[in-house]
């Protein structure tokens, strides 16, 4: 049961051209609480027609929005930011109810998402080009940054607020307009956020949200991919879907930002501060129940510190409280759905069948209130032959691999098509630089498990995608470069 102090934050229709509208076919789909696996709301189930209407609105709004002075766009973003923070508690309740993360983490997500809005409000006023030294007398060479146009944002369920905020905010700061489709598991947070953007005074058509069920999502997304008015697609989600978007957007050569799957290594060297490494692993592995693209999927621990590390880690993991967001003590909530729990169980069973040993956890948690819980787990004797070493588990499972030397662990860490994040703990400054440079990932946490921040460029290499979110690079991704050459000045 979702009770809010501001019930008007709950919307169930699409936001198109400043109007809340039913889907064209009046279809709806259910939104489920992962804690109970029961439906508690329903929202518009849109199709290609709704998707195109949203593009009509965004394309019509683009000329005026892109010409608006950057300071005015920034002021609107700042108002939006203030409203998000003013509704932190309600937004956190919506996030917890549709996504499952404990309330404390959901509040953290509201602040994290809001920080991107504030950052890009500030960056909007710092967009600048270049004046280049002329190569030929009598000519002036100027470089301008211009918004790319209509942006389609396709966002995941694991951070229902932060991911859409970190796509919409830079788009608007750059002068783009947006059509967005949140994940079918978590549409309510995106709709609430868009409602607050409207309340902040965002002109109609600048932010449009279209919701769709799993079944109808391809219709909406394919309509955007085929539409030449959509000039950029930004997506966070799986690598297979990212590849589909890259292929299908090639016909109209859209700009793309793809934040895709990861398989993050977390390396503990023999010279590491073990307590700090355990803290870092707890923060990065068990945040959001292990359902993050950047969470460690493979934990490599040096042979000489292996047993001490595992003992300290297991003690902390056993103490984690599993439960729904309605329990204040909850630290690990339900997984998003039954498919997710099945995948985690399959990975653990496969690992055990191939020789891994369960130190703690390793099973589903049977609770009267719902079926989607999995116990926080530590496994030892993990090997590259196990499914969890090459597929993202996306759950609260820390498999420990033993290693003996630096070259071997770097080779194993890089032995994956993915390259999103990596982490390592060491106190040797020479090793720190060597390893940081050798790891084939877009982001590296050095003696740090919590690496995401609005001021930092978030993104991967290899099959984890391209483009960056956050930081000034995150704004650049929504602009193109125009060169002006003015002659006859001599």
Alpha helices in 127-254 (DSSP H): 162-174, 187-199, 217-226, 239-249
**Local structure of residue 154 (DSSP, 8 states):** E
Whichever of 162 and 241 has its CB closer to ligand SIN, that residue is 162
The yes or no reply on residue 464 touching ligand SIN (CB under 6 A) is: no
Buried b (16+ CB within 10 A) or exposed e, 325-336: bbeeebbbbbbb
Least separation in angstroms between CB 450 and ligand SIN: 8
Q: What are 482's two structure tokens? A: 């125009």
Looking at the Cβ atoms of 175 and 242, the one nearer to ligand SIN is: 242
Size of the site for ligand SIN (CB under 6 A): 9
**Per CB under 6 A, which of residues 140..169 are in contact with ligand SIN?**
158-159, 162
Query: How many other CB atoms are found less than 10 A from the CB of residue 437?
Result: 8
What 3-state DSSP class applies to 317? Answer: helix
CB of 293 to ligand SIN, least distance (A): 4
Residues annotated as catalytic (active site), given as ranges: 259
Q: In DSSP terms, which residues pair with 325 in a beta bridge?
A: none
Q: How far is the CB of 162 from ligand SIN (least distance, A)?
A: 6
Q: Nearest-CA neighbor of 69 among 198, 197, 175, 199?
A: 175
Q: For residues 301 and 402, is the Cβ–Cβ distance under 8 A?
A: yes
Q: Are 43 and 210 in contact (CB under 8 A)?
A: no
Q: Which is nearer to ligand SIN, 80 or 112 (CB)?
A: 112
Stretch 343-382: interaction string toward ligand SIN, x if CB under 6 A:
----------------------------------------
Q: Does 452 bind ligand SIN (CB under 6 A)?
A: yes
| C-beta of 239 vs 360, nearer to ligand SIN | 239
- Min CB(237)–ligand SIN separation in Å: 8
Separation of alpha carbons 234 and 290, rounded Å: 23
Minimum CB distance to ligand SIN, residue 115 (Å) = 11
Question: Restricting to residues 82-141, which ones interact with ligand SIN according to CB under 6 A?
Answer: none
Tell me: does residue 236 bind ligand SIN (CB under 6 A): yes
Q: 426 is written with which tokens?
A: 């060491």
Q: Which is nearer to ligand SIN, 164 or 278 (CB)?
A: 164
Q: How far is the CB of 119 from ligand SIN (least distance, A)?
A: 13
Residues 245 to 304 in contact with ligand SIN, rule: CB under 6 A: 259, 292-294
Gyration radius of the chain's alpha carbons: 23
Rounded to whole angstroms, the Cα distance separating 344 from 365 reads: 12
Q: Which is nearer to ligand SIN, 87 or 167 (CB)?
A: 167
| CA-based nearest residue to 269, from 116, 439, 487 | 439
Question: What angle do the packed helices 70-86 and 162-174 form, to 10 degrees?
Answer: 160
Q: Which residues bind ligand SIN (CB under 6 A)?
A: 158-159, 162, 236, 259, 292-294, 452
């Amino acid at each position: 049961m979702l009770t809010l102090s501001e019930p008007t934050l709950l919307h169930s229709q699409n936001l198109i051209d400043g109007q809340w509208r039913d889907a064209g076919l009046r279809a709806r789909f259910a939104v489920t609480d992962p804690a109970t696996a029961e439906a508690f709301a329903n929202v518009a189930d849109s199709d290609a027609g709704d998707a195109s209407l949203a593009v009509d609105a965004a394309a019509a709004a683009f000329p005026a929005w892109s010409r608006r002075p950057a300071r005015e766009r920034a002021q609107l973003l700042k108002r939006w930011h203030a409203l998000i923070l003013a509704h932190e508690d309600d937004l956190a309740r919506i996030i917890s109810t549709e996504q499952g993360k404990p309330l404390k983490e959901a509040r953290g997500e509201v602040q994290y998402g809001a920080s991107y809005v504030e950052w890009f409000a500030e960056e909007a006023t710092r967009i600048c080009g270049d004046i280049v030294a002329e190569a030929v007398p009598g000519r002036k060479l100027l470089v301008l940054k211009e918004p790319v146009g209509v942006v389609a944002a396709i966002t995941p369920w694991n951070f229902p607020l932060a991911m859409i905020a970190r796509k919409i905010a830079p788009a608007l700061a750059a002068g783009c307009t947006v059509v967005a489709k949140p994940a079918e598991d978590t549409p309510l947070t995106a709709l609430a956020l868009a409602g607050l953007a409207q309340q902040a005074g965002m002109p109609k058509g600048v932010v449009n949200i279209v919701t769709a069920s799993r079944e109808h999502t391809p219709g909406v997304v394919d309509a955007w991919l085929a539409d030449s008015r959509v000039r950029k697609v930004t997506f966070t989600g799986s690598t297979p879907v990212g590849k589909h978007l890259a292929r299908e957007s090639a016909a109209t050569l859209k700009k793309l930002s793809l934040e895709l799957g990861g398989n993050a290594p977390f390396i503990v060297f023999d010279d590491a501060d073990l307590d700090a490494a355990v803290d870092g692993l707890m923060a990065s592995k068990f945040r959001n129940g292990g359902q993050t693209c950047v969470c460690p999927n493979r934990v490599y621990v040096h042979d000489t510190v292996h047993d001490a590390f595992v003992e300290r880690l297991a003690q902390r993991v056993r103490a984690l409280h599993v439960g729904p967001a309605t329990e204040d003590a909850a630290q690990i909530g339900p997984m998003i759905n039954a498919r997710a729990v099945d995948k985690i169980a399959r990975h653990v069973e496969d690992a055990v069948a191939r020789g891994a040993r369960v130190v703690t956890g390793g099973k589903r948690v049977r609770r009267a209130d719902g079926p989607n819980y999995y116990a926080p787990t530590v496994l030892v004797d993990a090997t590259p032959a196990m499914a969890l070493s090459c597929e993202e588990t996306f759950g609260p499972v820390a498999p420990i691999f033993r290693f003996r030397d630096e070259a071997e662990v770097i080779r194993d860490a890089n032995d994956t098509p993915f390259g999103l994040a990596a982490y390592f703990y060491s106190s040797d400054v020479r090793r720190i630089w060597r390893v940081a440079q050798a790891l084939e990932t877009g982001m590296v946490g050095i003696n740090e498990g919590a690496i995401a921040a609005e001021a930092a460029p978030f993104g991967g290499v290899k099959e984890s995608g391209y483009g960056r979110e956050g930081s000034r690079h995150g704004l650049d991704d929504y602009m193109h470069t125009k060169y002006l050459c003015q002659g006859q000045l001599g």
